[in-house]
A and B are shown apart, each in its own frame.
Chain A
């Protein structure tokens, strides 16, 4: 291999330093990593997945199965990147994969010796015994022995983003068809986004010499498109998926030009491109040939050898054997010969076109017809080849085998939405089936391999795409393709390229056009011509014999074949192997290829980094946080904040104790003895309005609201349709047709959604409006024996006496010209008031209460104390309303009384819900000194063995300073729920077993005297 002093689109004045496996190397600006490695004499680029066989660079694009490398170090380490798609950048650090201790000498290549035991599905048969758990043991060793690269373990410091893009016409692929399509659509007036996975636009044209007519045409097109404001050319951008609504998933690589992206600049961007119409110009991929040792370094696709020569100026072999069954490989042979290589073509066909043979003669290329390659000879790289010919076997010295088994149109993107590819017998390949509305195809993906036809198709598709996306401007869409010109631009012609003749740019070229081809027979009989492994899927180490084995064992559907052999399941998704595999299976089954069908094409077409999928949604941006209007006060007063759902809530205040256990006990003691202030702004709040609002509430709550007087509040419980308790809360009648509902914090969105659903579907006749007002109101609860005094001091203009504001009463007013509602409710069991005020003055109201309450001993309390206070009072909350409990389970049946007609009433009468053994709510008190109860503990009778699910579980616990004991709520089988019974609370996570007594769930003030009066 050598770098030539001429040819290529690299900038020889700009050397680029990089390392491969620690060895310093130099390439040029414009190189891919693969071309630079080849130029530096790298023959072995990687080791194979299973057998650890040496592998070289095989292709020049995203179909690369062999040369997977890991880029970067530390947190920027990214494995499994095809070196063929990596743009060379200064300081780039590349490392080979799946080898030890070195790439050249890999001890695990011993696997190859055991290959008879490692055939397809070997582990399904071999590692399943002697016990059912044996696989868990074997897996560790198998994973070490086989695989690809390792992901980094350090945090990735780079930035990734997600963008939403829009276009009239999206064109995928900037080859000749794509360029023509983009120009046509843009000239017609469409906003065009042209997407190209390479860092250069041109596609197939980049494999032509730059100074030829194709190069000039490409340069002219790029100049024209660059001058159009309505065209956006996105290079380094892979279209990895097609989704409903003409949405394309794009992966844009920014950091590939530099190993150390600038601070703040995204390394990769995930784009979601919504286009009115899409033109797929995705081209085609050359097929390999199968023969013994067809994976040896030095075996390469013929098109790749030509690209490395003409685009990168790298001559990849001196003695070249071109093995082909079609015309296209001749182009590579001619160019390689012109660059100084000694080239022989082994053409398996009987009679290639005479003009090709004449061209070969003129180029000094020897052509051997009816000659089939049987084996590549050599260990670390190819030294010679064995050909089978009618006259017998021939061995030729060779350091490069350039293979071409025809071309497979790249139908992946057009198939992602379920459109099945269609088999075309004339080209023996699958082409896109019927694509969706607004989608068009052009170029080699349609099976067109004549350059003039390709450009014409692109132009036509661009016009059609424009007409589809904007029918109002369709008259302008009759823009014709530019006539041939003599200046630089589309239609530039030359005498040497018969596909681009000036006088007839749309006419098909003669048969010797460089893109024309005759396709192979697919499998043929070439699979067993010589001893040695003949690979179908190079990346997954799947051989011809593996396919035969799968067939023999009954895995004959291509979907079964894929999963049994892992064929096509590598990071390359079998881009070079799928067609051969299904044609092989067709041969084995005696069926036609279209009858065998293809496997299902799914996104992504090329791998997408998880970082790009996440974008900025990680760390503090993983989800948006909700902050109450009083948030800043909590933070500045040393509250320990806690994430609860999306909300940030004060867990406890450090002024109350050095840790949560000390603090919450102090806070609840203060609330019981003086008063506490709690931020309850997170409660769900819903305005229910309308003439039928009361009727609506009667239906959604188990208890009635129609008779609730204006100015009064009521506790309510909702059921799901299946009779399970859904949520609880209070609803206050603030007007004859206006109710103010509160829900639990956790269920706020669910309840709102549920109410809207019921109004839209079940009772559309009701004149009711529901609106979330959760953010409208700041809310705080002042609780404790001094709460009324504090309220009176804070709002001296309001009468908060027991007569004016009794338990479950409402008082309305204004605070700083904002609405104010005070509702006397108690969740803690103490006399308590919920104060609601406009969110914009919430913090001021809080501060005013604190200021007025401090002389009375008012202190804030957090979430932990709130939960503890309600446990002492026996109020149920999320741990008890857990999606499994009924009204009876929670002791709430009396609320429904004899009512009917509410949601969940019918299914709530199911027999299973009346089972006397159903768990019901109980109180539990720890009866062992120095021990505590824990939420989640399983309850057993003392005489019973501690195993299984027990009789129930503890749902909530707290230390009660009033009772000086650990108490809790639990759900316990009714038969064991007699008060006074003693149980064992077993907490398996800590191996604790504690004795507890069943008591009433209302630990304090069972008659409710504290909050009345």
Chain B
């Protein structure tokens, strides 16, 4: 996708991203996580919404038994023992919207129920963004990434741009 609006105070950049989903079976959860963790390069996040960086890749526990591995580029498939869980490519369905600028806190507080001041850099949170399920990841003091369903992306960019225009 092309870059979004870039107003003074808030820039919006849109890009494709790689997402691979891993799902473990209820009766093999511990073995699934023990098998998955080293293959993703380290520890898995413990709670839903928590994230870990693994060799420039982001791992998010998106549900109790479900993880997303996110990177900027295409991710190769990682085979999972079918007795432990399964893998699914999801990168085509989502767009990574990068927001940056001094307005970011003021814009986000008009969009999502997130306490920006409490959100640590590298921390992700699942939010309802103008009724759309979105993963928000804080990437800096004045930056965050939104992983949004592709079909909603343009509508959300319009929404964010309009919100931003009202922030003085």
Contact = CB atoms under 8 A, between A and B. Distances in A.
Contacts of A687: 88
B92 A159 contact: no
Interface in B69-126: 82-83, 85-86, 88-90, 92-94, 109-110, 112-115, 117-118
Nearest to A271: B109
Contacts of A647: 151
Contact of A689 (B16, B88, B115, B130): B88
Nearest to A624: B155
26 contacts: A161-B163, A162-B110, A163-B109, A166-B118, A191-B117, A264-B166, A274-B113, A616-B162, A621-B130, A624-B132, A625-B155, A626-B152, A627-B154, A629-B150, A690-B25, A773-B90, A774-B151, A775-B93, A775-B94, A775-B149, A775-B150, A776-B90, A818-B92, A819-B89, A839-B92, A839-B150
Given A166-B117, A691-B82, A764-B26, A626 B155 contact: yes
A775 B151 contact: yes
A771 B85 CA distance: 13
Nearest to A619: B162
Interface string A615-642: 1110011011111110000000000000
A435 to B, nearest CB: 23
A771 B25 contact: no
Contacts of B168: 264-265
Interface in A274-316: 274
B23 interface: yes
Nearest to A692: B25
A769 interface: yes
Interface residues of A, number: 48
A838 interface: yes
B4 to A, nearest CB: 14
B158 interface: yes
Nearest to A166: B115
B21 interface: yes
B93 A774 contact: yes
Interface in B130-168: 130-132, 149-152, 154-156, 158-159, 162-163, 165-166, 168
A840 interface: yes
B158 A165 contact: no
A737 interface: yes
A777 interface: yes
A819 to B, nearest CB: 8
A910 interface: no
B86 A737 contact: yes
Given A161-B166, A689-B88, A764-B26, A771 B21 contact: yes
A382 interface: no
A737 B84 CA distance: 13
A450 interface: no
A850 interface: no
Given A264-B165, A625-B152, A626-B152, 12 more contacts: A166-B118, A191-B117, A615-B110, A624-B159, A737-B82, A765-B26, A767-B26, A769-B86, A771-B90, A774-B151, A776-B89, A839-B150
Contact of B162 (A621, A624, A737, A819): A621
B82 A626 contact: no
Contacts of A773: 88, 90, 93
Contacts of B113: 164, 272, 274
A163 B88 CA distance: 36
Nearest to A632: B154
A967 interface: no
Contact of A690 (B21, B86, B118, B158): B86
Contacts of A615: 110
Contacts of B158: 620-621
A621 B112 CA distance: 15
A624 B92 contact: no
